[in-house]
Structure 1
């Protein structure tokens, strides 16, 4: 048994059943060990696809995603997906081949310092110099990826370590995950006191709720306090979309009722969120009247951007259970927030014959209520966040902090590999889709039943929207009117495809897409001038939202926002 064969057995011992990768010279011994091993390897068509697929697998399942690439360009092509996992706290173990230790530092063929390159975007990096170092490194890699605030860990594996004799190494035994400490009781007492005095409390939930397996406890806390609740992009689904107290997403493209509630609150109970700039708008004017209780597993986040009057660091489940005994007197405030929610409810009866993307996405969410949705980045990403009715945060896969175009398709088939029976939908835009379009070959090869909704406005839509509003309609390099025929392109990869361009055909097209066996793509032509509303402009607070200026727009048929 050599080092590679030992590593394959160690991966199996860690519970790995699927990995995503692309072979090459420096990682060939590992691929030889995979042959006949029983581990499922998914051959992607670009290493970035491997990283995003492992990322999607981990997000959807909660397990560690694993991806593999060779040295040099193979390793560097993984970095965007690794950075995405780091910024969104996704547990991954990344294995890269490296030139033999005797050649390291000599500018050997396909040698790059991937260890150094990835240091800012991993929880830890390992570079074993001998096979004897492998057992401890593998144990630590998986322990670190899973523990505390999850994230990616790199093992850069020299070729001579892969082929070295490993007969003398003991069988791999996984390390236990570090237990998350309980919060200090004094902080919980202080938080309860603030909650009891609040008259305008708002619960502000983020991605840490799902990461901490605290969804049930979060929902119990909301029910107990009866406080209006807002969610970040990555917190969507922590409270069901139809819950009466759910005011929706806050921030740059958040709902009016969510943003106004936060700006007027006297207390924010922040659960697993990090005050991201896209959520807060102008930070110095964010929730100006609110005291802050901040619950998080990561002490570094508490007080990092906004002073926490009470910081509750520890296991979210136990902390939320303790705080669920609070019952603030906020009935008048709650009624005000819920009346705004009713008053500003989105309408989907857009005029005209063109497909209205928000209405299409809302209807698809009704037809596929249990779907796992993987988004790319851009206008369609915000429309999904605003209009898809999520009831589970692990079913909304989106590149939040990094905002990486090309994420959607590989993340979708990664999620499909995590649960072969799940309904998985990829929502993409024409700009994002071409970033990793080659992964249609992966979808076709494995006949994964991912359904793709491609919203095509023949523009880089979000950039074009900003050029329209903030750059005096100077449209610089956002015209994609020379896009390929996406239906023909998908068919060339063996993917059944359909075209939609009329609002009257939306229902039948969506039903046809979902009923198609195996992978399928619905190409949807939408208005190139369509924008995402509301929008909080740069350097403005969240109450200073811009609405669709068109008089017949669904977003502005209700009462005008207060100034």
Structure 2
């Protein structure tokens, strides 16, 4: 059957099970949008306020559902507005297909109106990208893009389509989509056996979970493995929810703002079993002194991560879920009772602390956890509020913490929360932002309002760029260069102007009542939380220090006495 390129594109998206698209129309994609008009009952389209919001929404949709997120933008500035969102997805290994229009083939390379080399621009921040100049290549390219986005380590793929391709006709044959093999790598029995021997010899093992633990949807296998090894568990920012934070073996997050117990456990262990972690500098601190007493077993789907940042004694390449199934079958029950009890004692000795006399971010997060029973999907921007959300909300479900860990994209959370809510209509989605992050992308609140997407937008409003200011306080002699934000925006009135219900919290006593009202609302809600500008994230590891040199506010005060 002959079809136009636009018809073929939509049919291919339906083949892939796409039911939601986040996008913004324009001249180069008008043919695509004309075809979408005919499929409104099959594909939901969300129109954001800005193309960056479309990319972040597709990202949040993908992270929270495990499906491929899809975004569309027109040529030129429409395409370039996707770039930050694509880079965010790339750094955190998120399966996304970004579709951009471009000028017609005969106008390419002639500095035509709204022409830009988006394939060249995005080459370093995509798993792969395609330029489609012939309608006969379109169906194969779309199918290939989805395959690449999902196979092995996930990531974004860009498909740039010349406008005349979407109008030209060719034959289309529907294809049945086969399940994608996660990886080409066969799990080697000798690697499994070597790892088991190391586990059996270990006296003080620790298990560290990274983002791959969430991506692989292997919580069941992880819990079984942890119980078999009988070892303390720590996680990175991207692994929240892969192992329940309420489990007694959980020691907290590791790294720059990790718990003292987690950081000390990693430093003192004799075996570090790493599941889907890439050893980012925010996790390792001084990499030469990271886990310096331990041999490291690294389980990862991507061989490029092995020995990249730290030295690995034994690697197991393969899909985490499948690797753990094999390990769980072959590994006998281990007993590390004394080591586990020591870790638990340290956990009790070094709890996370904050000022309970005033309204703080940690208090709001603890209360939110209590009222949602840890079942909400939490998204964040980047900064102090992000760390508080990681520390004080106890995640028990996979894919329930949506944050920009690799690129550190301020303003990511609101768009991501919209995507997560659209993908999970039966879940409560809450975006935690600082006022700095919220100012960057607050226009997407209009999107939530337009579609009545029932997210809760919490703004930790301290009138400063909190995390940068914290560094200026601790390491730059309190020289607060350009980190004070003017208190000239009334976020409550702004939300109300967008037909969004809004509340302001300025006292601890107001938190529970207002959170309950927000949780019972049937549309989007904004909560402006007025907190102290000097509130900090504790504990902390100084730049260049080893993670066992983690210090608290109390430690800092004792040093200066």
User: Is the shorter-chain TM-score for this pair beyond 0.5, marking a shared fold?
Assistant: yes
Selected match of 2:382 from 372, 377, 395: 377
Conservation of the 8 A alpha-carbon contact between 2:240 and 2:400 = no
Q: TM-score when scaled to structure 2?
A: 0.96
1:419 aligns with 2:421: no
In the other structure, the counterpart of 2:531 is 526
The aligned counterpart of 2:148 is: 144
Which residue is equivalent to 2:338? 332
1:145·1:152 contact (CA, 8 Å) conserved in 2?
yes
TM-fit CA distance, 1:392: 1.5
Is the contact made by 1:143 and 1:178 (CA closer than 8 Å) also made in structure 2?
no
Correspondence for 2:59: 55
Say if 2:392 is the partner of 1:387: yes
Aligned to 1:343: 349
Determine the structure 1 residue equivalent to 2:513: 508
What is the match of residue 170 of structure 1? Answer: 173
Deviations 1:284-325 (A, max 9, x none): 010111000000111111111111111000122232233332
CA distance in 2, matches of 1:320, 1:2: 46
Q: Matched residues in 1 for 2:110 and 2:179: separation?
A: 39
What does the per-residue CA deviation read over 1:492-522, in whole Å, with 9 as the maximum and x for residues that have no partner? 1110000000112211121122122211011
Alignment partner for residue 322 of structure 1, among 295, 320, 326? 326
Contact 1:139 1:173 in 2 (8 A): no
Farther off after superposition, 260-269 or 172-181: 172-181
Which residue of 451, 455, 467 corresponds with 1:450? 455
Q: Which runs of 5+ in 2 are unaligned?
A: none
Report matched runs for 1:294-305 at 5 Å: 294-305=298-309
Query: In 1, distance between residues paired with 2:216 and 2:413?
Result: 24
TM-score normalised by L of structure 1: 0.96
Aligned to 1:23: 25
Match of 2:110 in 1: 106
> 1:550 Cα deviation (Å)?
8.8
Q: Say whether residues 1:74 and 2:78 are aligned partners.
A: yes
**Match of residue 201, structure 2, among 187, 197, 204:** 197
Match of 2:136 among 111, 132, 135: 132
- 1:498 paired to 2:488: no
- Matches of 1:272 and 1:402, distance apart in 2: 18
Q: 1:549 offset after TM fit, Å?
A: 4.1
Does 2:82 correspond to 1:87?
no
Q: 1:281 aligns with which of 282, 285, 309?
A: 285
Secondary structure of 1:374's counterpart equals strand
Shift of 1:327: 3.9
> Are 2:75 and 2:102, in contact at CA under 8 Å, matched by a contact in 1?
yes
3-state secondary structure, aligned to 2:116: coil
Shift of 1:259: 0.3
Shift of residue 545, structure 1, vs aligned partner: 1.2
Is this contact kept in 2: 1:9–1:172, CA < 8 A?
A: no
Q: Which deviations, in whole Å up to 9, do the C-alpha atoms of 1:49-93 show, x marking residues without a partner?
A: 000000000000000000000000000000111011111111011
Larger displacement relative to structure 2 (178-187 or 224-233): 178-187
CA distance in structure 1 between the aligned counterparts of 2:356 and 2:426, rounded to whole angstroms: 38
Cα distance between partner residues in 2 of 1:171 and 1:230: 46
Q: CA RMSD in A?
A: 1.5
CA contact (8 A) 2:228 2:334 kept: no
